[in-house]
Structures are given as structure tokens and as C-alpha cells.
Amino acid sequence: MNHLAPDRPNQWGFKRPLFSVICLSFFLAGPVAHAHAQEVTLPELEGLYRSALLGYEQAFEVLEVLSSQFERASLDLANAVAADDETAKNRAYAESLRISGEMGQAQRRVEEKVLELREARGTLLDATAEYLGDLLAVGDTATDPVTQGDLRSLVSDKRTRISELIELEDPPVTLEPVPNINAAPRDGPIVLRQKATMLEVTASRYEGQYAFNEQKLEDLRRDQDLLRRSGDFLAGIIRFDDPRLPVGPPGARTDPPPGQAQAPPGADSLGIEGGFLTLEQRIEALETLQEEITQRIQTIRVRAANLRRLAGGEWA
């Protein structure tokens, strides 16, 4: 675990300043992927995220311009063909080919920027979650009003930021149908083994997806716990400040918790249509997906084993 940078003792007795930011080591992606591992502060990670978002938006704008130009060139070509104008037809065809090539490069550029943006967002989310955890750890021992006021501002800010970053993440993927690979009456041992291998490769891919999803679930549950704890902490601070406010369990609060508010304007949804999933919905959807993946792995492994038995002459 990374922690707040060491410093002289502060007013809470910790040898680290409350207002310092998390530093963590990681290999930067994108333009500086070749750089050595370095420590980056939380504000710097915010800057890297904004830079990645800007890079994605700019790359997408270039692709949109080229798409518009390609549509015009295609229309010019269609008009030239209709008018039987050979010169105009050749010119429009050449222009279409040129723009098509540039569009391919622009599309690859957008895909690269999408990956950079997702990595920057994930790194920022992890660092912010760790920082919030450290703040709550300090809050467990803080009792004076000044300290609690400072903590309230920081906890509220980071709690909101975590919620925003979660809302911008992609929803769980939809699984493709299981490949329809079965034994045919004329299949010999070689073909049967080939089919078994294809199924086993498919099962391995599902197992890789399952492992990835498990890590994601761990992160989502971490964030869920942090949002719950920080919500309870803020509610306790408010009750401490104003005894007139009603005291009740966290579930009795009427204000929607982070993760259930509308995504902010300009969210980098990466082209995903529709609304968003709350944190609880994301966890539930991913758990359901994991159950489906588990069933598929078992089914595919059994089918592959049957094919290998058939290849050995066991047809019953």
C-alpha cells in the first residue's frame, strides 16, 4: 500500500501531513511509456487524466472531420457516375481512396487514445481511493472541530471524485455466443482433436476474462466500502456540528449517495450510449457475468474432453 508522504509530526501526531497527496510508482502509458517508473502525485494524476481525455477528444474530432469528408467524396463519386463524367469520377474516386486511408489511421489513433484514457482513469481512481482510505484512517482518531472540518472537506471532495470516475467506466461486457463446435459423423481423430483444441483455447480466454473481472470486482467492492464509510463519516461530522439534525442509520438519509447521481457533462463515455450503472448495479451485473462465464467454462471444457475421447475411439 502507498501512503501519504512522510513529514514532520502534525497536529494529529502523524509523521505525515494530512494535506499531502498520495505518491505511487507506475509505468506511464502513451507518450512516456518508455520512461522509468516514477512517483506521481494525485494532482499530477488528475492532470494526466485530463490530458488523456483531451487527447481522446482531439483524435475523435479528427476522425469525425475525415468521416464528413469521405461522405462528400462518396457523394461526388456517385454524382460523377450518374453524369457519366469520367474525369470527375476518377478525381472523386482518388479522393475517396486518400480519405479512406487517413480514416484508417485516425481510427487507430482513436483506439490508442481510448486505451490511454482508460488506463489514466483507472490509475487516478485507484490513487484517489487509497487517499480517501488514508483520510478516513486519520478521521478515526480526529476529535477536535477544526480537524474534523478539514477532514470533512477533503473526504467529501475525494468521495465525489471517486463516484465520478466510477460512473465514467465502461459497463460489464456482453458475452458472445459460445462457438458451435461439435463432432460431425465424418470427423476423424485429427479433426476431433483440432476442434477440442479450439474449444480449449476459447475456455482459456474465458478464464482470462474471469480473472480480470475478479480484480475489477475487488476494486468495485473496495470503492463501495469507501463510499459507505465516508458517507457515515460525513454524517457523523454533520451531527457533531449541529445537534438539531436527526440521527439515524446511513440508509435513512434522503440525499442520494455518490454513484447514484447523473454523470457530469462531458463525461468520457467513450461512445457508450444510454445511461449509467450505479456502483451497486455494476457489482451485481459483474457478479452475474462471472456466473455465466463459470458455466461456459465448465460446458466448454466438458465438450472439449468429449471430443478428445471420441478422437481416441470412444464414440459412446
What global pTM score does this model have?
A: 0.65
Segment 176-218, tens digit of pLDDT: 888 888 888 888 899 999 999 999 999 999 999 999 999 999 9
Across the range 246-273, mean pLDDT stands at 35
Q: Read off the pLDDT band of 170 (50, 70, 90).
A: confident
Kindly tell me if the per-residue pLDDT of 1 is higher than 80.
no
Across the range 35-47, mean pLDDT stands at 75
Q: What is the DSSP string of the chain?
A: ---BPP-S--TTS-SS-TT--BEEEEPPPGGGTTSPPEEEEHHHHHHHHHHHHHHHHHHHHHHHHHHHHHHHHHHHHHHHHHHT-HHHHHHHHHHHHHHHHHHHHHHHHHHHHHHHHHHHHHHHHHHHHHHHHHHHHHHTT--SHHHHHHHHHHHHHHHHHHHHHHHTSPPPPPPPPPP-----TT--HHHHHHHHHHHHHHHHHHHHHHHHHHHHHHHHHHHHHHHHHHHHHHHHHHHHH-TTS----GGG--SPPTTSSPPPTT---TT--S----HHHHHHHHHHHHHHHHHHHHHHHHHHHHHHHHHTT---
| Mean model confidence pLDDT for the chain | 76
Can you give the pLDDT at residue 284?
92
Can you give the pLDDT at residue 194?
92
Across the range 286-314, mean pLDDT stands at 91
Kindly tell me if the per-residue pLDDT of 61 is higher than 80.
yes
Can you give the pLDDT at residue 178?
81
More confident residue, 36 or 314: 314
Least confident of 104-108, 120-124, 272-276, 307-311: 272-276
Can you give the pLDDT at residue 204?
94
For a pLDDT cut of 90, what percent of the chain falls above it?
48
Least confident of 6-20, 132-146, 170-184, 262-276: 6-20
Can you give the pLDDT at residue 146?
78
